Amino acid sequence: MVDDCSSDSSYEIAYSICEQNKNFKLFRNNRRIGALNNIFNLLHTKVKEPSKTIDVIIDGDDYLYSSDVLNVIEEKYFKTNCLITYGSHVSSKGVQGKKYPRFIREFNLFRKYFWYASHLKTFRHDLWLSINPQDFLNKNREYFSVASDLAIMFPMLEMAGNRQEFISEILYCYNDKNPISDHKIRRKEQILSAKEIRQKKRYNRRIFN
């Protein structure tokens, strides 16, 4: 967990939880750097077996739908030998989530199509490590501060090809009522960043063991 300069008691609450469970690690930033920069820093820590490690991204104002979510994810990777998953989530608008059509996957057209690779986002760590870090940066050579989901998922979807899975079970609760969500207060910037990410060079499909 990382506290990106919160102004409330988030750090103290997280710290008390981490003190009771040594499986958790807590980081506290000296300056605010944004979601994508934090994700990059955390996921570039050394991992012993990248091909056997699954990364799961959970935003700070959201939460997992049930206690068996990680079991569902584990089973999906074992049964399908996939490299990446996305799926169904619930919000104030109800249940949302769709699978990319076959022709989109076959012809690598993710950046030209509707955005489906939403919560819950999981991927094999070696797939993540195959992304060029420069593709996380905008034209000003700064980490994208909005639309970071696209910057993260498009390269991996493209490299994974058909080794990707849509999980229809609800795994994630998306808090779209948060008054400071990007889609409410930074919508124009979000649209411009998404356009820039979609215009980046797409990745070729890669072979992973």
Q: How far apart are CA 86 and CA 164, in angstroms?
A: 8
Q: HEC string of the chain? A: CEECCCCCCHHHHHHHHHHHCCCCCCEECCCCCCHHHHHHHHHCCCCCCHHHCEEEECCCCCEECCCCHHHHHHHHHHHHCCCEEEEEEEECCEEECCCCCHHHHHCCCHHHCCCCCCCCEEEEHHHHCCCCHHHHECCCCCECCCCHHHHHHHHHHHHHCCCEEEEEEEEEECCCCCCCCHHHHCHHHHHHHHHHHHCCCCCCCCCCC
**Tens-level pLDDT at each residue, the chain (209 residues):** 889 999 899 999 999 999 998 888 899 999 999 999 999 999 988 889 999 999 999 988 899 999 999 999 999 999 999 999 999 999 988 999 999 999 999 999 999 999 999 999 999 999 999 999 999 999 999 999 999 999 999 999 999 999 999 999 999 999 888 766 666 667 899 999 999 999 999 999 999 99
pLDDT of residue 61: 84
